[in-house]
Each structure stands twice: as structure tokens, then as C-alpha cells.
Chain A
Amino acid sequence: MATHTPHSTLDALINVAGDTTDASMKTAKMPIGIPGFTLHEEERTVPASEPPVWPINKDLSYVGKPQERWDGRAKATGRARYTADVQLPGMLYARFVNSTVPHARVLSIDTSAAESYPGVKSVHVIEKLLGGAVLRDPTLEQNRYPIVRYVGQPIAAVAATTPQAAEDAAAKIKVKYETLPFVVDMDQAREKDSPQVFPGAADQAGTAGGGGSSASGVPQTGNVHGPAVHKQGDVEQGFKDADVIVDAHYTTQVQTHSALETHGVVADWKPDLLTVYASTQGTASVREELAAYFQLPMSKVRVITEFMGGGFGAKFGAGNPGVVAATLSRKAGAPVRLMLDRQEEHLSVGNRPSSDQRLRIGAKKDGTITAIQLISFGTAGCGTGAGCAGPASNLYKWATLHVEENDVFINAGPAAAFRAPGHPQGAFALEQSIDELAASLNMDLLDLRDRIDENPVRRVQRQIIRESAIWKSRNPRANADVGPIKRGIGLSQSVWYRHLAMDSAAEVRVHKDGSVEVLSAVQDIGSGIKTVLAQILAEQFGVPPAQVEVKIGDTNYPVGPNSGGSVTTASLTPAVRDAAWQAAQKFLASVAPALGVKASDLTLTDGMVRSASGKFQPIAFRSAAARMDTNQVSAQSRRIPDYDPRKYDTYGGVDVAEVAVDTETGRIHVKHVLAVHDCGRPMNPVAVISQINGGVIQGISYTLFEHRLLDPNYGIMVNSNLDKYKIAGSYEVPKIEVQLTESYIGQSSTDASGIGEAAGIISAGAAIANAFYNATGVRIRQMPMTPAVVLAALNQPKPQMEAL
């Protein structure tokens, strides 16, 4: 039952006149804090056009209630149409020709045999490659074709009437290389006499990797791009002030995104419009890149993403597949489908960089951190973005901080943003070191974190952990089990940020037949934003979410956010709620004449139109709609800034993992995970839990199994498939318990936020490693924790660090 203020003010709407920035302001009392713990009210000054404040979830009808996925049936029945499912009349099938060597100058490309191959309609040789770092001084390297810097780099492409013909023809393109020395091992690449991936300093613009050294202008020595230095305070003094110092070295491997739907597009170049169906996390980003690349007006590029099969950060922009498919389509005068195969997906469209971290933490006896120093190296292949200092910088309070992040170029495909870029790597190190710090201070793991982490939500989450059955069952003494299979329990925290994409807009329409629809270019990458938008309209109009029409994933609709960094829900939902509210006011104005009252006498709550003056009994929304004085009313709204710009909130969680370590075989079995997380107001708790399950499982997969293996002799990835590149399957899934910490910060009309990054993947590695320590008394500082790594860790002499 909704109890929010039924205060209809058409006046406020009229004041807005489409521009919220000049709107008069009003004050609003908003729920703040965590229900059951810290809930209270605070006053905010908000634009007068803003809808009434929503109460907490338990007092709403549809929002915050478990809701079936709006497109669930389409997905379960196979009717959901993904990019690779698009079939257009006369559509051609394209294949890339990729480099077979890791580093080379391409001397010549002979496409004649491909061009005359039966069924071939167009051939394209790439002269401008997208992705990866570029030389600051391009004159250092001059060649007609892009320099090959990794095996699998696209060189040319063919479009033909059948996939088989395209494949056959692609095989007939002859590429002549002058091979150059290469390096695929990061440690080797750091050495002075290593082959150079670039002949000079190179930067990557707009990389969405881990940040840090991706900034241009940082020094470069050989293959080492960095350090990007971030200092606050005098860290040496901080260490002098410390009673205890923990100092450790951690390494993590390269992980590939491995979304089940590969990158790809269907491009249809017509003289008056370029239409591109894309598997993307950002219809807006694809349109922008295509418009810029082909110098087309934005209005002449349309991008459609009806359904997309996973991206995890790697699917932004048109990329090489997008521009090549569009070029082939233009040349052939026919639509072209270009979907990557599984090998190409591993090699050329992104990965999570590796890391090699030296982390020192100094603390007082009471746990207060006096200094954190992190020096990291990582490889993002021939790109940048291997920084991983996020957790060390932002999870806990410190007096002094010194961070140096370095990217190391190797001859491998460029990295891309990958779910919480840099954070799983950084947390793997930080959260183990914090546990070590607690041990050396003889403090409880949770008490120490209470001391150094002031975030009120995390504090409540730790309390939930303390009281949980799994944590109570933990033996604080490490290596307590006597048999070969040892059980252990550990925890880790995570942190992510309240990022917003201000280009988030939507239109809401009300039709005379009582149907309502929402339109936005935003795409649903699997997180369930369609359902959330339906819930918002349901809440406004009292129509069940399944009956709301949700039209998204098309740049013909108002601009939507690119779905990365957990921005979608936080950015778009307030715009949709505002549009729904304004459409409702217009609806009331449209029915007022027929009802014989002024619009200001009317409200719409719980699906009923009510008269404040009591002129008539409440009328159902649908019946009232039939009396509209027009066939359709609509309102468009965009994201307005957060109500309180001074606030900068983080999201995160505390995860507990229970493992069984077989000390004879080296296998780690994760048995049970308790994940306690927050994302502001959970809009659809069911989908939030799904995402957290997924983050936990992806994190386990990363921690124990996944590893991109490059052959040092040939530079090829030896496991570029899904049978040798092991990702977690049904046997590796533990019992997962999720607890949501519903929390309110009073920042927007929905006060909601995303969960994608914070969900599990950041903390899984450290939680498992800390559980491993609890089981065995041994620190494991290397990922993936394969049996060989586990056995090596168990057999090594106890490191000195433990004596601290």
C-alpha cells in the first residue's frame, strides 16, 4: 500500500516548462539510513517539479517487491532476439582475417583470391585499427597497415552470402609479415633488454581499465608505462609512526570476459541511415563512435540492442567489429552480420589486466592505519588500465597514502573494463593484508575493520556477519583441522562508487486505452533494467508491471546511459520516475474537463483517480483514461543532479566464504558464501540477488580457475576456447546466501543504485584466500589458486611475514 504524499501540483509541472534547472525549489523530508538500524528522516531541498518522496520499500506497492523479469518469458522460450539472431533480407556474413604472429610489420595483403571467391560481396583491409595504446609520436612508426602487436589482431574482413563462403574466402587472403621480436611475459617485458611492444611512449585514451597509469603524460621506460603516482601525506613518516607494518607481495592473472554472446553487430548501411544492431552495453557509445568514425551526423546513425548476451565491461563503442561491418555493408550495398568467434573473443576484445602488487600497511597498536603504500605493475596487453589502487585508496581510513601504478606493455590484446576494474586485484591484496594486520595486532578481524572503516552501511553489514551462523561456526585458530581436508572461513569487504551518467533520459506515454509505456535508448545487459522501469510505471499508474510496455535499446528513443560502473539504475530510474510523474500530471489535466473538475483537484494513487474535493468516487485509472481529451499524453525527463551534491557515497559489502582445502590434491572447494551487500534502495530484490549470485560465482571462477595462458615461444593464447579456459560451472557453485542492506541517502526521486560491480567479484579472491589461511595457516598470495599453486604454497617454508 503506497502512502506517499498524494499531492498533485500541476502548477509545479507548469513551472518546469521542460527545463528543470530553473525550477523553483521545495523542501522534502526523505528517509535516510538503514531500516531496522539507522532509519530516520532528513530534509532536502529539491526542484519543485520533483515527484513526492517515496517511502521505504515496505510501504510501496511494486518497487522494492520481488518482481518477475519483464522479459523472462521471452528469454525462457527462446523468443528473445539477440544481435546474432537478427536476419535481414539479403544479409551477408562476415569473417575477420586475424594476425597469426604476435608482433610484425604487415608488408602486403593480397585479397584477390578472396574477392573472386564465389559468394563474396565485399572485402575490406583495415588501415585504421581501434583499441589499444597509440604512440605519442606517430612518426616513430610508419607503415601502410597497422603494426601487428598481438596474435588475433584483425587485419582484414570478408563478407559473403554464407558463413561458409566468408570463412573460405577469408582463408584465401594472403598477408605478408616482417616479423618483429615480441614479448608476452610481463616479468620479461619489464627487463631492460626486452623486445619493445612500442618503439616509444604510448597512451590509451579513455581506457576503462583499472585507471591509474592509463592517464597520458606519465613516464614510460621500455615497456613500463608509469608510474602514475598518487601521494597524500608523508608515507615514510607514516611508517615511522607505525607500531606494526605488514609487507607482502601479491600476483593475479589475466582474466577474459567470456560473455556467452561474443562481440558482434549487424550493420545495414543505407544512403540515408546507418542502422546497426549491436551486442553492446551502450547504444549511445556505439552511435557516437560510428558517427565520429564515418563523419556522419548522429541523427543518421541508429543503434538497436533488443537483447544482449553479457558484456561485463568489454562491450562499449562500435570497436573494430562495428566499423568493419559498417564498411563492408557500405561496400556491398547489403546488410552485414559480423559476430566474433570464441577465439577472437578471447584475443582481441578485452580482458582484465594482471597485477603484481607490493603492499605495505603501517598501523598503530589500536589498529589506526598510519600509512598505506602500494606499488603495482600489471599488463593490459598493448593497452593500458592495469591500475588496482581503488581498494587500498578508498576502503579504509589512513593517515598517509603512496600509490604507484605501472602498466607493462606485452604483445597481447588490449584490456577492457571488466566488472569493478582494478578492484578484485586490489582487494585480493588489501583484504589479506588487513587480516594479517589484525593477526599481528591480536585483534578480531571485524573489530579492526570497525576501527578503520567508518562507512555506516559496512558497519551494519559487519554486525550482520558477526551474528551469522556461518561466522559463529568459524574457529579463529588457523589450521585447526587435523585431517588432510581442512575447513576454513574467511571474509573480505568490497567498495564501489556512486557514479552517475547524466545523459540518462526517458519518455513516458499514457494512451487513451489506459496503456502506458516507457521509452529509453538504455540497453538491458542482463541486470534487469526493463523490469525496474516497468515497476516505476506500475508504482505511478497502479498498473501491474507485466502490463507496462517497456521499449528500450534503440537510439530512436531518448538517450540512455551506457551500462558500465553500476551507473544504470542510479542514473536512469530518477529520470523515468520524473517522466512518469509528469505524464501522470498531464494525464490528470487531460481528464479533468470530462470529470468536471480542475486538474489541481485530481490525484492518481494506487491506480485510482481521486477528487480531493470529493466531487466523485475514485475512478480506476483505465476508466479515467477513456475520458482523456486526446489520444496520448507524454512527458520526457532527464536525470537531474543528485539532491545533495556534497555527498559522495560508496557501495559495497562484506562477503564470507567457507572453503574445504584438500591438502593432498591441492584442490580448494568453496562450500558456502554469505554475501551482505547494499545498493541503496533495491528496486527489484530478486534481480539484485541474481546479480550478487553472479558476482560471487564469477569471483570464485576468477580466483580458482581462470587464466589466460600465452605461449612464450609463439605468443599465442593456448586456451582460447571454453574447454581449456576453465570458468566455473554447476559443480563449482557453492551454497550462496545473500542479504541486502536496504539503505537510503536521499539523493534522487528513486534513491536507487546499481549492484553490478560491488556484487561479489571484488571480495571473492580475498575472502577465499583468508578462508584458506584459516584452514591451513598458510597465506596464498597468488591467483588463480590452482592445485599446483596451492601445493606450492603449502610446501613452502612459512614466510617471515607471518612472524610480524
Chain B
Amino acid sequence: MSDHQPPHRELPETSSTTGNKGITRRGFLKGAGITAAGTALLDGVQSLQQEAQAATPKGVMEYGAEAFPVTLNINGKEHALHVETRTTLAEALRIGLGMTGTKISCDRGACSSCTVWLDKLPVNSCMTLAVDAIGHRVTTIEGLSTDSEVHPVQAAFVRHDAMQCGFCTPGMVMSCAALIERNPHPTERDVRVAISGNLCRCGTYPKVFAATLDAAGQHATKA
């Protein structure tokens, strides 16, 4: 958890292992054989509250329904914005920050148009809550290139015409670039696996395979 997060409401610290005064889940279960009924009656609601507290790891925040300020690390920079708990990372990027390179197509994790990296791991940003990205390094399609340099996968996509309408392209690029980052010498099978979640309705897959294989091991192309 990053320190600069403005906490919405921080819960009191509660140890889940040494809570002698309150009834912890573990303690409750230990004594359950003998005193289950009595304990439940005596402590009632209070014990449930305490159990909830006990189950909450140190430092976890609880948020309400309203929008609240957060800071997200995107492409190496800290970005402050307001999100609701239900705001997805994709929405936060696109609407909150105007970073529209990340696309929303199915909005339920079935097409991978919205692929971004969370600490180098490709994820569907439509299935990731913005609050769950706190404390992680998010990389988007905008972070893959600069004005003068593009990622080898992006250069190869252009060379091989690995796009038609281009709407799936940012997600495809993020999946393929992540593959090359973790496996500099992929096979075509590896590329198929890497983009098995990425749908392309124009049917550009063969050139995506070719471009990614071509990009493997190459250096950034000067613009």
C-alpha cells in the first residue's frame, strides 16, 4: 500500500492471532466445541464485527459508494483522480485520465481489448477495479512508446499490417509485448496462447503472429 493514498476510512488495527480480549475467528472456533451457543448469545453482533475486523489485514481501506480521491501509478507517473469503488481501471484510464488508447469492447473480460499491464502482468482493465490498481505499476499502450520511439512489437505491427480497423490493436500489442518481455524467443504457438483472450473481429490474427515473431529479440525502432 502506497503511503500517499488518502485513506477513506482506515480501520483500527486488529491482530488476527493474538486478540485475547476480542473473540477472533480462530479463538471462536477453538472454543466452539464447548461454548459455541453461549458465546454466540453473549457476544452477538459485537463478535461478528470483531470477526470482520480480525479478518481484515493490516492497512486495508474501506470505501463508501461516493467517488473519492486516489493516486494511481501509470506509465511511471503518479496520477491523482477521483473514482468510485465500482469504477473499473479501464474507465478510470479512459474517462478519469483521458488515456483512451485502452479500449472497452465487451466490458466483461471476454475480448481483452482493454489489456494493460499490472506490474508487467497483462490484465483486463475492464475486470480490474481502479482501487485494486492502487500500489501497482500500471502500464498502458500510451506507456509503450514515446514520441520518437515505439516498442518493437508496435513497429512490427505496422510493418506486417497486423491491424485493420485497429480497435483491438492496443490490447493485442499489450499482450504480445508482454509475451516478448517474458519470453524473448516465442514460437507461433506461444503467440497464439498469449493472445488467446484477444478477439479481433477483422480477423488479423495471422499477421499478429508474424509481427510478434518478427519483433522478438529486436531493438526499439527509431521513429
Contacts and interface: CB of A to CB of B under 8 A. Distances in A.
A18 B130 CA distance: 58
Nearest to A531: B161
Contacts of B209: 730, 733
Contacts of B196: 729-731
B15 interface: no
B168 A260 contact: yes
Contacts of B161: 68-69, 72, 686-687, 689-690
A193 interface: no
Nearest to B196: A730
A475 interface: no
Contacts of A310: 164-165, 167, 201-202
Interface in A335-363: 341-342
Interface centre among B111, B155, B169, B202 (most CB of A within 10 A): B202
Interface string A677-714: 00000000011011101111110010000000000000
A78 B141 contact: yes
Interface string B88-122: 00010011001011111111111101000000000
B141 A693 contact: no
Nearest to A79: B101
B106 A526 contact: no
Interface stretch (B6-14, B28-36, B42-50, B142-150): B142-150
Interface string B162-198: 0111111110010000000000000000011101111
A72 B165 contact: no
A312 interface: yes
A722 interface: yes
A165 to B, nearest CB: 10
Contacts of A78: 100-102, 140-142, 169-170, 173
A87 interface: yes
B203 A258 contact: no
A76 B160 CA distance: 11
A530 to B, nearest CB: 11
Given A78-B140, A78-B142, A310-B165, A723 B86 contact: no
A68 B159 contact: yes
A73 to B, nearest CB: 6
A526 B171 CA distance: 16
Contacts of B169: 75-76, 78
Contacts of A79: 101
B163 A308 contact: no
Interface size class of A (residues with CB under 8 A): 35 or more
B59 interface: no
B87 interface: yes
Contact of B164 (A528, A722, A727): A528
Nearest to A82: B167
A84 B104 contact: yes
Nearest to A760: B203
A179 interface: no
A770 to B, nearest CB: 21
Contact of B107 (A81, A342, A693, A728): A342
A163 B158 contact: no
B163 A76 contact: yes
B218 to A, nearest CB: 15
23 contacts: A76-B150, A76-B154, A76-B170, A77-B150, A81-B100, A82-B103, A87-B95, A87-B98, A258-B201, A260-B168, A260-B199, A260-B201, A312-B201, A342-B106, A525-B165, A526-B164, A694-B204, A698-B201, A723-B108, A729-B198, A729-B205, A730-B193, A733-B205
Given A77-B141, A526-B163, A730-B192, 18 more contacts: A73-B158, A77-B145, A81-B100, A84-B104, A259-B167, A260-B105, A260-B167, A310-B165, A310-B167, A526-B165, A526-B202, A690-B207, A694-B164, A694-B202, A696-B203, A729-B198, A730-B208, A736-B206
- 4 A-B pairs with least C-beta separation: A78-B101, A309-B167, A526-B165, A697-B203
Interface of A: 68-69, 71-82, 84-85, 87, 162-164, 257-262, 307-310, 312, 341-342, 525-528, 686-687, 689-691, 693-698, 701, 721-723, 727-731, 733, 736
